[in-house]
Amino acid sequence: MGMKPTCREIHQLVSEGMDRPLTLVERARMRLHLVVCEGCTRFDAQMLLIRRAMRRLSDGGD
């Protein structure tokens, strides 16, 4: 794991961050990458949207 994370590493962190708290270092690496990578920023937003939709469905909808 280098200082500059790859998109693959960021996708992994985004996914893991939905299931467990990320460490300070993981969050910092992810945030810095998201500032410069539009593709990963979109992936992060899509994962958040899916997560919210799934919560709404499990809570009974509207």
**Average of per-residue pLDDT across 48-55:** 92
Task: Please give the residue range of the domain that contains residue 31.
Answer: 7-57
HEC profile for the chain? Answer: CCCCCCHHHHHHHHHHHCCCCCCHHHHHHHHHHHHHCHHHHHHHHHHHHHHHHHHHHHCCCC
Residue 62 lies in a domain: no
Residues 5-33: tens digit of each pLDDT = 999 999 999 999 989 999 999 999 999 99
Residue 12 lies in a domain: yes
Terminal CA-CA length for the chain: 42
* pLDDT (0 to 100) of residue 4: 82
What total of structural domains would you count in the chain? 1
* pLDDT (0 to 100) of residue 1: 57
* pLDDT (0 to 100) of residue 59: 81
* pLDDT (0 to 100) of residue 61: 59
* pLDDT (0 to 100) of residue 22: 96
